[in-house]
């Protein structure tokens, strides 16, 4: 078993926590930094229940440069970084763009400065299909032009990718950017999952909370899009499939198998489902009837997007394995268990 040391920023978050489990399963030593702005430290106790190992944890904000440098002075011999830490709510970014630009750009710049200073050369970056805006052709491949983003959140991901692709030119940095489509679902153990603090911004927690009676009704934003039933189309992908792709990307960098200093891969299933199809599939797998209401479109939402996954399938040897039914049933199992979990 290898004992490469991997720093996971934003590791108590949704995708971060699932990725830690997969890294540990492959024998990596994981260290976590998180500000706990949108998550709980208790998630790492849940990780330990799954993997048997609780990762070492540091709580601070990556925008605090001195705290970050202190961390790297203490934690030496880090082989690679997976950078998840970012604010990620599309709607909130429209309402508070400065918060998003400050947090998402400054944290990345501080991490890159520290990597240069402490001679760490490998980073996997958590990007998003929002960088494509509304693509001209579907499925969307990595070669598609970046369009004007629909939200400041999407713009921070575009800017981050630009920074990373510029920095590799003048340094020995090696980067893999993973552009996820729409991560949903939860770990099969139902010990970790998507855990929004306050009102959820993403569809599936809204669905599961409505089914539980936590929310009175589910709002469907728009039924007048140019799609088969008028609701938005998304490429939903299981969070465990996404987590496994991060492990493959880390191994690619550590084994020097990357073909360029800066590489980009789409992470999706290649299939798009409408919001209404997703609701109906959830009703089928959960045997719950959802109280939903059609309302007006939401600012920042793209009409339809789904991935061309050929590059990731061929280059990384990775493929999403789980279907929509499995994604939604694991999300529902997690929601059912959540009331008893007392995660703090």
| Token digits of residue 45 | 């106790």
Q: What is the full per-residue pLDDT of the chain (344 aa) written as tens digits?
A: 458 999 999 999 999 999 999 999 999 999 999 999 999 999 999 999 999 999 999 999 999 999 999 999 999 999 999 999 999 888 889 999 999 999 999 999 999 999 999 999 999 999 999 899 889 999 999 999 999 888 899 999 999 999 999 999 999 999 999 999 999 999 999 999 998 877 788 899 999 999 999 999 999 999 999 999 999 999 999 999 999 999 999 999 999 999 999 999 999 999 999 999 999 999 999 999 999 999 999 887 889 999 999 999 999 999 999 999 999 999 999 999 998 877 77
Per domain, the residue ranges of the chain are 5-187+236-270+306-322
Rounded-to-integer distance, Cα 154 and Cα 57, Å: 29
pLDDT at 254: 98
What was the pLDDT predicted at 342? 77
What does each C-alpha distance from 216 to 197, 207, 208, 210, 296 come to in angstroms? 17, 11, 11, 6, 18
Determine the distance from the C-alpha atom of residue 247 to the mean position of all C-alpha atoms in its chain, rounded to a whole number.
14
What predicted TM-score, i.e. pTM, was given to this entire model?
0.96
Q: N- to C-terminal Cα distance for the chain?
A: 32
Phi, psi angle pair for 180, to nearest 5°: -80, 150
Helices (H), 83-190: 90-95, 97-117, 152-167
Catalytic residues: 153
From the list 131, 132, 135, 111, the residue with the least C-alpha distance to 121 is 111
In the beta sheet, which residues pair with residue 35? none
**Does residue 239 contact residue 194 with C-beta atoms inside 8 Å?**
yes
Fold for the domain defined by 5-187+236-270+306-322: Rossmann fold (3.40.50)
List 57's β-bridge partners, or say none: 32
DSSP assignment letter at 7:
E
| Alpha helices, H only, 183-233 | 203-212
Query: How does strand 80-83 pair with strand 56-59?
Result: unpaired
Among the listed residues 181, 291, 274, 282, the one whose alpha carbon sits nearest the alpha carbon of residue 230? 274
pLDDT of the residue at 2: 59
CA distance 16 to 59: 15
CA dist., res. 90 & res. 307, Å (int): 19
């Amino acid at each position: 078993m290898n004992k490469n040391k991997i720093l996971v920023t934003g590791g108590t978050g949704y995708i971060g926590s699932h990725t830690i489990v997969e890294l540990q399963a492959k024998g990596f030593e994981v260290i976590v930094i998180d500000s706990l702005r949108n998550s709980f430290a208790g998630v790492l106790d849940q990780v330990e229940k799954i993997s048997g190992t609780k990762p070492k944890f540091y709580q601070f904000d990556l925008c605090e440069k001195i705290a970050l440098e202190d961390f790297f002075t203490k934690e030496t011999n880090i082989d690679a970084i997976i950078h998840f830490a970012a604010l990620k709510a599309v709607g909130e970014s429209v309402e508070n763009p400065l918060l998003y630009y400050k947090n998402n750009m400054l944290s990345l710049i501080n991490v890159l400065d520290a990597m240069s200073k402490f001679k760490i050369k490998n980073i996997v970056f958590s990007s998003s299909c929002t960088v494509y805006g509304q693509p001209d052709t579907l499925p969307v491949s990595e070669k598609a032009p970046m369009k004007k983003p629909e939200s400041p959140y999407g713009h921070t991901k575009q800017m981050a990718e630009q920074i990373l692709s510029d920095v590799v030119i003048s340094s020995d940095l090696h980067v893999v950017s993973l552009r996820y489509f729409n991560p949903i679902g939860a770990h099969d153990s139902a010990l970790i999952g998507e855990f929004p603090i306050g009102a959820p911004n993403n569809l599936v927690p809204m669905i599961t909370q409505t089914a539980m009676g936590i929310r009175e009704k589910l709002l469907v934003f728009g039924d007048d899009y140019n799609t088969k039933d008028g609701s938005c189309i998304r490429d939903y992908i299981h969070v465990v499939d996404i987590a496994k792709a991060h492990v493959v990307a880390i191994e690619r960098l550590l084994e020097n198998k990357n073909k360029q200093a800066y590489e980009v891969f789409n992470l999706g299933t290649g299939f798009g489902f409408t919001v209404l199809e997703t609701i109906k599939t959830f009703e089928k797998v959960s045997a719950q009837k959802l109280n939903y209401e059609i309302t007006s479109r939401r600012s920042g939402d793209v009409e339809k997007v789904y991935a061309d996954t050929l590059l990731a399938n061929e280059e990384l040897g990775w493929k999403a394995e789980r279907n929509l039914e499995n994604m939604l049933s694991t999300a529902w199992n997690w929601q059912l268990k959540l009331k008893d979990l007392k995660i703090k």
